[in-house]
Structures are given as C-alpha cells and as structure tokens.
Homo-oligomer: A and B are copies of this chain.
Amino acid sequence: MDIRDEHYNLGEWNQLIESCLSDPDSEPLLNLERDENPVYDAIFVGGGAGGRFGSAYMKAMGGRSLIIDAWPFLGGSCPHQACVPHHLFSEAAEELDRMKWFSDELFFPKFDPSRASILALVKLFLAGRGSAHAFMNWQTKEQLDVEFVLNAHATIVDRNTVAAAGRTFTARNLVLGMGARPVLPDIPGLDLEGVYDFVSLVEELDYEPTRCVIIGGSKVAMEYGSFFQATGCDTTIVSRSQLMRTKALHHVDEDLRQYVVEGMRKRGMTIIDQAVPVSVNGVDGRVSSVTVRLSTGEETTLDTDFVFLGTGERPTVAQAREALGIEVGPTGRVAVNKRMQTSVPGVYAIGDMIDGPMEMFKARKSGVTAARNIMGEDLEFDYTEFPDFFHTTYEVTWVGLTEAEARERFDDVIIIQMPPTVEGLDTPNLPLPCAEGTMLYAFSKPELSGFQKLVVDGASRKVVGAHHVGYGAKDAFQYLDHLIHSPDGLTIDTLGWMNELFLNPEHFIQLSRLRAGNQTLRDL
C-alpha cells in the first residue's frame, strides 16, 4: 500500500496501525520516493529507536535512508512493550505506594487494595499505546521525511541488498537494528499458563494475579516487581545475585543500594537472593508454585499464580549471522567498533544488538553514529560511561563513581550527602532531603524521603559521582553526566556557583556551596 501521498493525522495513523496489527494478511505500508531502483546510502533493518534516529539523522545530513520494519509502526519495542509501559506502571506504583502510606491520613482515603489492578493498568496501556505509534509514524514521514517500508519482514540478501514487501532494495550500507528478545532461564515449566515476561505481560495477561514470583534480579525484575507489589500482588524476587550487584549494573553505590533494597522490603516484598530457580510447577496447565534452591543448598517451594521472568534479553542475530556471517561476541551480541561497524564492511549494528546497556540513549546514539560515519564523518561513540536509572516506587538515578570506587582511585574523597551519616543525630526523623514528590513524606514519614550523595575528589575538587533516590532528579542527571564527563569536569566550585531552583530534588548545588569556601574540602 503506497502511502507516499497520504498525509494522515494522528487519528488516521492510529486506525491504520491498529488495522495492520489485527490483520495478519494486511499489506505493507510503503512511503517511498518515486524514482526507480534507487541506491540508498543505508537501509536500516529495523525501525526501532536506533533505526529511526539514525535514518532521520542521515536524511537531515542530506543522505538517503530507508527503514524496513516488521511492525506497522516506527519506534520499536519502547512504546510497544518496554520503556513506555514501564514508565506508566512505575508511575502507578509510586502513586499507589503513596496512597498506601497515607491511607486514611490527611486527604487520602482509606486505601482499598481491591481497586488496584495489574490487569487494568495493562489494559490502559494497550488502549493508549497506538497514539505514540501514530505520532512516530507521522513525525518520521511528515517532519523527518524518511522513507520507510513498514508491516513487512526484511530478508537480508547480501550486504547491499534487502528484500521486503515483494521488492528488493539496494544500499551502499546496511544498519542492523533488529533488537532483542527476553531470555528464558533453562528450567522446566515455563510453558505453563501464568508465566510472563515484560513482552507477554502487555500482550497476553488475561487475569488478575494475586501472588507473584519473579525470577531474575535485573532492572526489569525490580521495576515490575515494585509495581506488582504496589498493586497488592504479594511479590517475591528470586535472584542469583544480590539485587543491584549484577554485572549489568555498574557504579552502584552501596549506601544507595541499601536504601533502595531496604525500601523494597519496607513495602512488603520478599527478596531471596543468591538462590537458584529449579522449576516452575503447575496444576492443570497453570502455574501453581516455583521451586527454588536457597544459598544454604536447601530447596523451598513458593506458591504463586503468577511468574514473571526478569532474566535479561538477548539480541536477534540469527539472520544477520546466516546471511552476512557477522561476528558475534561471547555474550551473544554483535561485535562492533566505536563506529558501530561490524566485522563485515559496510554493515553496521546498533541498539540492543550490540554490547552496552540496553538503554535508549545507546540505541539512538548508536544509530546516529552509524549514520554519521556512513555520511563521511569520523565519529566514535563510547558508551562505557553513562548516567543510569531505574524505578522501584522511587526514581533511582546515578552517574560516575561510587564512594568505594572513588576511594580506590583517589586519596582524598569528600562525601556530601543527605541525610548525613552522623551518629546520634537521629537521621531517620530528619525530613531531608525533600522537594517535589517527597514533601508529604518529609512531613509525615521522614525516613521515606530519599537519599542523595555527591562524591568529590578533594585534590582536584571535581565531582566524580552523584547518586539519588527520590523523585524529580532523573532529568537533571542527563546534564550532570555531561558536566562530569566534560573535558574540564565539574568542580564543586562551579557547581556551588550555579543558580538552584529551591527546593530542588537533589540538593547538590547548595550543599556544595556550603563547602566550596574550604581550601581543604571536608565531608558534609
């Protein structure tokens, strides 16, 4: 279906996408210029975050890019199954959590657990996700002017040729952004009804779980687990490692970790770490329990009607290996250099197919990096250092070194934190930190109002790490990352001279200012 001359608004796009999704025989959607047999600068195989941003950047630079995607919409799994539902569920978790702590206090009514429903929030998401899809199709076509073939499986023929929608497309380069899928642990019982991962949760959930066992200790495990628990679904996390001590998460400060994990326990979650799941067990085809081997060697069985797998993701590499013979690293991800070039000349890989965090900034910037290199720039993208975050019922955000890492590297490490660690001060009753999102806690349940820590190298006076649990600071950490990792770094003096918007969710500016007068810095 040639839609080149159609200029759909959001409602029309939404309808078209929905009709494609619901009809397996629906036609591909082609938005192609009219010339015959063009040679593209690149075909982006996959129109997720990386493909969409990479192709748009290439087009903006004057190049010619084509996206091919199996879904009838652009943007990939983020708006369909991943970051967007996660943020919706995490906001619900934060809200439910507050309503429970304040049940029958102030203006909050007595909390009614029967109202909170995982299924209802999944349905809310499903009813609304089409709007984001519609917007991205509209924006990509009308504002970014990128050619695309959607609702069509791409078959990689060779490194210059991709077949889709009954046609063959030619390009000087291929950019592979084919994403990843959840990894299943190797235990029996995963085919039982009632076993979900973050994809099948939104696609298939059809009942209201009452108890949950989560297998895995990833960000997804902690985020979805906190959400399930907040809805009243009694949640147990079974993790091989201690939470937040996996290799997948770097720079996790131990004080922050303790505040976060302790916070999950305070909210009623059971965390069984250093444990191995043995089997998922069922009755009449439905999950009924999970057997777990504890760190003591003992086995225990946890009754449940809902199992959620948070055991990570693995990239979709089979086709690219077969058709192109691209090298795949030991972790199953496509090997690329800092220009996103694979082992096959002219073939790039981006997003969740390559190493590094499976996060949006990496997906989009790797796509842009591929595009800019193809267009002749000599640009490297290093994603070994970056700000990171996830949600429990809090926003947890961090960048740079932990206190322990800094102490290994520098002789004179200064810590500025809130609440301070001072014996006898009675900090659990200290209503600090506080700002938007923690004011009611600060005045009623101060021990819930968050944690923040700034790590400074006393010799250079540079901020080397920042850590935050609370609300409203995540956006700022994007800029803190930039400043900390800029060539000159960010000194406590520069930070302390900024214009704070007080009360600020992280109090780093004013706390730094209270110390910046010191020639020899001290903790605060």
Contacts and interface: CB of A to CB of B under 8 A. Distances in A.
A205 interface: no
Given A10-B430, A87-B436, A477-B501, 19 more contacts: A9-B425, A60-B514, A61-B518, A92-B439, A95-B107, A106-B124, A124-B444, A138-B425, A361-B501, A364-B510, A387-B499, A471-B472, A472-B472, A475-B476, A475-B506, A476-B476, A476-B478, A478-B499, A479-B483
23 contacts: A53-B514, A59-B517, A61-B518, A61-B519, A87-B434, A87-B436, A88-B439, A88-B442, A96-B107, A106-B120, A107-B116, A131-B430, A132-B431, A132-B432, A360-B500, A361-B500, A364-B513, A389-B501, A436-B471, A475-B506, A478-B499, A481-B498, A482-B494
A190 B474 CA distance: 44
Contacts of A519: 61-62
Chain A: interface size category: 35 or more
A440 B95 contact: yes
A481 B503 contact: no
A81 B115 CA distance: 38
B504 A481 contact: no
A437 interface: yes
Given A135-B430, A368-B513, A475-B506, A443 B498 contact: no
Interface of A is mostly: helix
Contacts of A58: 517
A115 B388 CA distance: 39
A440 B92 contact: yes
Interface in A77-119: 78, 83-84, 87-88, 90-92, 94-96, 98-99, 106-109, 112, 115-117
Contact of A501 (B78, B397, B422): B397
A418 to B, nearest CB: 10
Given A143-B524, A144-B514, A436-B87, A498 B482 contact: yes
Contacts of A245: none
Contacts of A73: none
A356 to B, nearest CB: 11
Interface of A: 9-11, 53, 56-62, 78, 83-84, 87-88, 90-92, 94-96, 98-99, 106-109, 112, 115-117, 120-121, 124-125, 127-128, 131-132, 135, 138-139, 142-144, 231, 359-361, 364-365, 368, 371-372, 383, 386-389, 395, 397, 420, 422, 424-427, 429-432, 434-437, 439-440, 442-444, 446, 471-483, 494, 497-506, 509-510, 513-519, 524
